[in-house]
Structure 1
Amino acid sequence: MHAVPVRHRFERIDALRGAAIVWMTVFHFCFDLNFFGWIHQNFLYDPFWTRQRTAIVSLFLFCAGLGQAVAHLQGQGWPRFWRRWAQVAGCALLVSAGSWFMFPQSFIYFGVLHGIAVMLVIVRLSAGWGTWLWPAGLLAILLPLAALPVHVAFGDLHVLNERWLNWIGFVSLKPVTQDYVPLLPWLGVMWWGMAAGQWLLRHRPDIVRGPLPRAFAPLAWLGRWSLTWYMLHQPLMIGVLMLLRH
C-alpha cells in the first residue's frame, strides 16, 4: 500500500458515516415521539424498527472498521489512538449516566459506544491479520447462533447472561437495557469494515479517495463530527419535545 498524508481526509468514508448519523437521528426521533406517546410503535419487537436498528449499528461499526484501516495505513501511533479512544470511552460513560437518569431500570451499560471502545482496541491489535480478518469476522457473527443450544445443553452457563459477562454476547437471554451492542456478533462487522478498507486501499483506492460530489458535502461534515452529534442529538430532541409537550 502506498503512503498517504497523515492528515488526509477520506471524504467518502466521512459521508458514509454521516449517512449513518442521519439515519440514526431519524430513528431516534421516532423513538422519542413514541416515548412521549405521540405515536404508538413497538420498537422492541416490530421488525420494521428492529431491522433498522441492526442496519444502523452495522453501518456505524463498518465505518469504524474502515476508519481503522485508514489509520493503520497512515501509520497512526498509539498515543493518537488512545486520545481518540478516551473520547469514545468517556462519552460511553456519559451515556450510561444519562440513560440511568431516564431509564434507571434499563439504563445503557454496554451500548454502541461501549462496544466501539472495546472493539477499537481489538481491531487495532488485529490490523495485521490481512485476509484472516474475513473468516474471523464471519466466526464472530455466527458464533452467537450457537449460544442458545450450548446454554440448553450444559444448563449451567447462566453466568454468561449476567451483566458482568453478557457484554461478550454469548447469551441465551437478551438483557433489559435500552441499547445492547455486545462483542459478538458486532466485532465481526467492524473486522469486515477493516478488511474491506484494507482491500480497497490496496486494490481500488479511487473508491474511497475519490472526490465527493458537492451535494454530499454536508454528510461528510456530519461524519467528521459524528461523536459530537451522537452525544448532542438526543438531549436536544428530547428537550424540544418536552417543551412542546408542555
Structure 2
Amino acid sequence: MNEAALPRRIALIDAWRGVALVAMMTYHGAWDLAYLHLARIDPSGSMPWRIYAHVIAGTFLFLAGVSLVLATRSGFRLEPYLRRLGMIVAGAALVSVATYFAMPQGWVYFGILHQIALASVIALPFLRLPPLLTLVVAAIVAALPQVFRSEFFDVPALWWTGLAPLPHNSFDYVPVFPWTAAVLAGVAAGRLAVSHGLDRRLAAAWQPKAWPGRLLAVAGRHSLAVYLVHQPIIFGALFLVAQVLVPDAAVDGARADCVDRCVAARADEVGCHAYCRCMFEDMDKAGLMRPMLDNALTPADMDRVRGMALTCTAMTLPTPAPETTAPMERGETPPP
C-alpha cells in the first residue's frame, strides 16, 4: 500500500484519547479539591480512585504505543519522530520544574510524560518484532516489580525504574516497571490492527459530526497541549475559590480530619473536639499551621507538634488509649 492510501488520522483514536483527557481532568479536579481542602475525599489513597487513575494512565500509554505504530506504518522517519519526542521531553521537563518549585514535597520527577518519552524509545525495536513476542515482553515488564525489588535501585538516579523497595513521594509517578508494559501492549495491538487492515476500516467507519465528538477528537489530536494547560487552569480556579469564598477551608478540613482520627483512636467525640481545638490553637501560636497544611513540616517541627500533642492529650483526654496509633504523616496532626 502506498503512503497516500493510508489514513493520516483516525478520528476514533483521537476521540478515545479525548475521553481519556476528560477522565484525567475529573481525577485532577478531585485531587485539587482534596489538596485545597474544598472536599473531604482522598483520590491518592482511596482504592476506587487509585484504580480510576491507573486506568486513565494505562489508556494514555496504550494509545501512545498504538500511535507509534500508526506513525511508522509507511516506514520510520527520523525527523518527525525526533520532533514529537522533543515536544514530549520538553513537556516533561516543564512539569518537573514547575512542580519542583510549586509543590516541592511531591514534585514530579518521573510522571506520565517522562514515561511516554522513554517508552517511545524503548518501544522502537518492537515495531519490527512479532506482536506475540512484544506481548510476552510486556507481561514480563508488568510482572517484574511484583517479584523483584532491590535496595540497589533506591537512589534518586534510579527511582525512574520502579524497582526500589518503596516508591518515593511524587504527585505523579509512572515508572518504567510496570508501566512500559502498557505502551508495548499498544504497539502489539497496533501491529495486529495494521496487519489486518483495521486502521483503514476504523478511519472510514466513523467521523465526528456532532460537536461532542468533534471536540473530543480535536482534544485528542492536541493531547500534549491539553495536558500541560488543564491542571494550571483547574487548580488556579479552585485556588481562587478557596481563597475568596472559603478562605478557612484548609484549616477546617484539617481539623475535621484530626477529629476523625482521634475518634477512631479514642471513641470520645467531645474530648476529641477539645483535643483538636487545643492542637490547632497551639500550632497557630507556634507558626506551624501553614507548614502543616502545606505538608512541609521539618523533623524538628514534627517533634514540636508531638510535644503539643502530649500536652493537649493530658489536658483534654487524660485516659490513655488502649493501643498506640500509627505514626503521623507530615501533613497530619498526631492522634492522641
- Provide TM-score, normalisation by structure 1: 0.91
Q: How many residues align?
A: 237
CA drift of 1:76 comes to 4.1
AA aligned opposite 1:49: W
Provide structure 2 residue ranges, at least 5 long, that are not aligned to the other structure.
Answer: 245-336
Map residues 1-246 of structure 1 onto 2, 5 A cutoff: 2-5=1-4, 8-131=8-131, 132-147=133-148, 151=149, 157-203=150-196, 204-206=198-200, 208-209=202-203, 210-215=205-210, 216-245=213-242, 246=244
Q: Secondary structure at the match of 1:227?
A: helix
1:53 and 1:161 mapped to 2: Cα distance? 25
1:12 and 1:223 mapped to 2: Cα distance? 10
Matched-pair contact (CA < 8 Å) for 1:111–1:181? yes
1:43 and 1:51 mapped to 2: Cα distance? 10
| Cα pair distance change 1:134/1:19, threshold 3 Å | same
Q: Secondary structure at the match of 1:39?
A: coil
Q: State the identity as a percent.
A: 30
| Cα pair distance change 1:77/1:177, threshold 3 Å | same
| Cα pair distance change 1:74/1:219, threshold 3 Å | farther
2:38 and 2:105 mapped to 1: Cα distance? 23
**1:50-99, CA deviations, whole angstroms, 9 ceiling, x for partnerless residues?**
10110000000001011011012032411110111111000101101111
Provide structure 1 residue ranges, at least 5 long, that are not aligned to the other structure.
Answer: 152-156
Q: What RMSD over aligned residues (CA atoms) do the two structures have, in Å?
A: 1.6
| Cα pair distance change 1:212/1:160, threshold 3 Å | same
- Taking CA–CA contacts closer than 8 Å with sequence separation of 6 or more, which of the two structures ends up with the larger relative contact order? 1
CA drift of 1:207 comes to 5.0
1:27 and 1:45 mapped to 2: Cα distance? 13
Q: Secondary structure at the match of 1:88?
A: helix
Higher mean C-alpha displacement, 212-221 vs 109-118: 212-221
1:3 and 1:163 mapped to 2: Cα distance? 47
Q: Secondary structure at the match of 2:157?
A: coil
List 4+ stretches of structure 1 deviating above 6 A.
none
Matched-pair contact (CA < 8 Å) for 2:65–2:184? yes
AA aligned opposite 2:95: V
Higher mean C-alpha displacement, 166-175 vs 229-238: 166-175
Larger Cα Rg: Structure 1 or Structure 2?
2
**1:150-184, CA deviations, whole angstroms, 9 ceiling, x for partnerless residues?**
x5xxxxx3131222112112222011111111111
- Provide TM-score, normalisation by structure 2: 0.67
Matched-pair contact (CA < 8 Å) for 1:64–1:193? yes
2:2 and 2:191 mapped to 1: Cα distance? 13
Matched-pair contact (CA < 8 Å) for 2:138–2:182? yes
1:34 and 1:198 mapped to 2: Cα distance? 41
CA drift of 1:244 comes to 2.1
CA drift of 1:10 comes to 1.2
